[in-house]
Structure 1
Amino acid sequence: MSNAQGAIDAWAQLATGRTRELIPEAVRLFEKSGTTALLDKGLSPEETVAEMDKAGINKLMISAWCRPERWVSSNDEVAEYTRAYPGRFVGVAAVDMSRPMAAVHELERAVTELGCKALRVVPWLWKLPPNHRLYYPLYVKCIELDIPFCTQVGHTGPLMPSETGRPVPYLDEVALDFPELRVVAGHIGHPWTDEMIGVAWKHDNVYIDTSAYLPRYYPQALLQYMQSYGQDKVLFGSNFPQLSLSRCMEQVAELELSEEVRNKFLHGNARRVFKL
């Protein structure tokens, strides 16, 4: 594989058309990104694949979303996409953190019955940092199922407190308690990018994905890391539909990465980490 061939987007959601209603905190992100057309317009699996083809994305890792008191998009909805295009979509599970035992059972169902390849929890939705006790049974189950745990790091674009996104101490403590757990930290970690790089360097099983930032705006520290001693630790992500797949891929080309680094960034690292 060369260039963008085989590109895997490690962080994406379904374009359900229900964002304005169910995640009102995220509306301003779509407005700032110029993608408001997808706030109220859902995309079918076929239409989503067309967007992927236009951008040159081979696989889209699409996550379910659960927040306190309601599901935004369920694991079964995600499975409808992965069943329709099993070679193009990879499911990422979500769980209801407020029901710990049910959450563990739902994660196992999502992986063993629906084929999900990871768990994602967005801490600001729950106002709980990832070292909170409610996460720990899920970490054990992730290790048992041999899947990564995906989470958001850095400040929150939505108007919610950002403290839950600090890499240190929260993710650092998780990695110390569960060194076997593969952790993919999405959204780079800005403005604590150096902290996030330090945590990824320190822990063999901690990785960074670049979702929610157009490549033109990747921090210089991250670019230096992913082109040197961190080239096996950084994964491409978009946060689709908040960011355009085509714009992201066009701007990746502008980074002038070496072929080796580009291939690891766009697909090699994701294939290894998620065991695709």
Structure 2
Amino acid sequence: MNIDDLVAIDIHTHAEEPCCTHRDDGYNEFQAGMARYFCNPAGADGMLPTVQQTADYFRERRIGAVIFPVDAERETGFRRYSNEDVARIAAENSDILIPFASIDPAKGKAGAREARRLVRDFGIKGFKFHPTMQGFYPNDRSAYVLYEAIAEEGGVALFHTGQTGVGAGMRGGMGMRLKYSNPMFIDDVAVDFPDMKIILAHPSFPWQEEALSVATHKPNVYIDLSGWSPKYFPEILIKYANTILKRKVLFGSDWPAITPDRWLDDFAKIDIKEEVRPLILKENAKALLAL
């Protein structure tokens, strides 16, 4: 990866299409609901690019991309996509893709062993957690055996925070409970794993100030700006991004729900200082990931 040739690094993209297997029953309907929530004109099909298609899209735009699946099979019934397959395709496109993995913390010691193997044998740089989709509080001690493995292997932990588009508008919210994704629960994780880099994903509606508080207080906590069009960013988030958190805020799109084209176009129109823009778009991620 030639970092100098990239115009940006997207810290938050999803591998939504299975690499080597078929889609589960109900998965198209789930993705159609996501497309409606994010006003994606392509509908469910637009929410399901392959990992290779993702690489091709980002390469055309000279944007590096952190990509990951989400292991939420216990709560959703949808089988998880293979971390190894995502890592393999990322390795074939290492000029543009940076592989993260996802392991449900409920897998306990088996999950911890998997995490170590993925870092050592597949070049995984970090791990994605979605407390609402995975149905757990981030500070639940049962998850700590997995965090310990990630921390010891030098991995990054990226946590979904705030409301989610998953299940939005669907009956019962598709069983998704928003309470798990309050960023204040991750404050405990930052205390107990002070050397593990942690990313709070998304503007954390309705807990934005909690997220800013944790990121301001804990040196190892960062915020990514994915999942929302920048035109909807709250004023306080923009204020902190321009000042005391300017080196801890990261560009993320939430591809394929939100495309980088849409995000970057809206980002150009909000009141971010010119000297801060390159920090958010690339330099902060470069430093965090030691690229």
With the length of structure 2 as denominator, give the TM-score of the two structures: 0.85
**Which residue in the other structure is 1:167 paired with?**
183
**Which residue in the other structure is 2:251 paired with?**
236
**Which residue in the other structure is 1:191 paired with?**
206
**Cα distance in 1 between the residues matched to 2:84 and 2:26:** 20
**Which residue in the other structure is 1:133 paired with?**
141
Sequence identity of aligned pairs in percent? Answer: 27
User: Structure 1, residues 132-180: CA drift from partner, whole Å, max 9, x if none?
Assistant: 1222012111211111111111123322211111122x11111122222
**Which residue in the other structure is 1:106 paired with?**
114
**Cα distance in 2 between the residues matched to 1:122 and 1:173:** 16
> Which amino acid in the other structure matches residue 161 of structure 1?
R
**Cα distance in 2 between the residues matched to 1:111 and 1:164:** 27
Preserved contact between residue 10 and residue 236 of structure 1 (Cα < 8 Å):
yes
**Cα distance in 2 between the residues matched to 1:46 and 1:103:** 26
**Which residue in the other structure is 1:204 paired with?**
219
**Cα distance in 1 between the residues matched to 2:32 and 2:13:** 16
**Which residue in the other structure is 2:66 paired with?**
61
**Which residue in the other structure is 1:52 paired with?**
58
**Cα distance in 2 between the residues matched to 1:115 and 1:250:** 32
Deviation at 1:61, TM superposition (A): 0.6
Preserved contact between residue 8 and residue 282 of structure 2 (Cα < 8 Å):
yes
**Cα distance in 2 between the residues matched to 1:200 and 1:60:** 23
**Which residue in the other structure is 2:35 paired with?**
30
Preserved contact between residue 12 and residue 66 of structure 2 (Cα < 8 Å):
yes
**Cα distance in 2 between the residues matched to 1:206 and 1:146:** 15
> Which amino acid in the other structure matches residue 224 of structure 1?
K
Preserved contact between residue 246 and residue 276 of structure 2 (Cα < 8 Å):
yes
Q: 2:130 aligns with which of 105, 115, 122?
A: 122
**Which residue in the other structure is 2:165 paired with?**
157
| Distance change >3 Å, CA 121–CA 23, structure 1 → 2 | farther
Q: 1:216 aligns with which of 224, 231, 239?
A: 231
| Distance change >3 Å, CA 117–CA 65, structure 1 → 2 | same
| Distance change >3 Å, CA 35–CA 80, structure 1 → 2 | farther
**Which residue in the other structure is 2:170 paired with?**
none
Preserved contact between residue 158 and residue 200 of structure 2 (Cα < 8 Å):
yes
Preserved contact between residue 104 and residue 134 of structure 2 (Cα < 8 Å):
no
**Which residue in the other structure is 1:271 paired with?**
286
Deviation at 1:77, TM superposition (A): 2.2
More deviation, 262-271/70-79: 70-79
With the length of structure 1 as denominator, give the TM-score of the two structures: 0.90
Give the 3-state SS of the residue equivalent to 1:40 in structure 2: helix
Equivalences for 1:73-112 in 2 at 5 Å?
Answer: 73-112=81-120
Structure 2 spans left out of the alignment, 5+ residues = 167-172
Equivalences for 1:246-265 in 2 at 5 Å?
Answer: 246-265=261-280
| Distance change >3 Å, CA 102–CA 38, structure 1 → 2 | farther
Say yes or no: does 1:14 pair with 2:15.
yes
**Cα distance in 2 between the residues matched to 1:204 and 1:213:** 25
Preserved contact between residue 124 and residue 164 of structure 1 (Cα < 8 Å):
yes
| Distance change >3 Å, CA 260–CA 203, structure 1 → 2 | same
Deviation at 1:53, TM superposition (A): 4.3
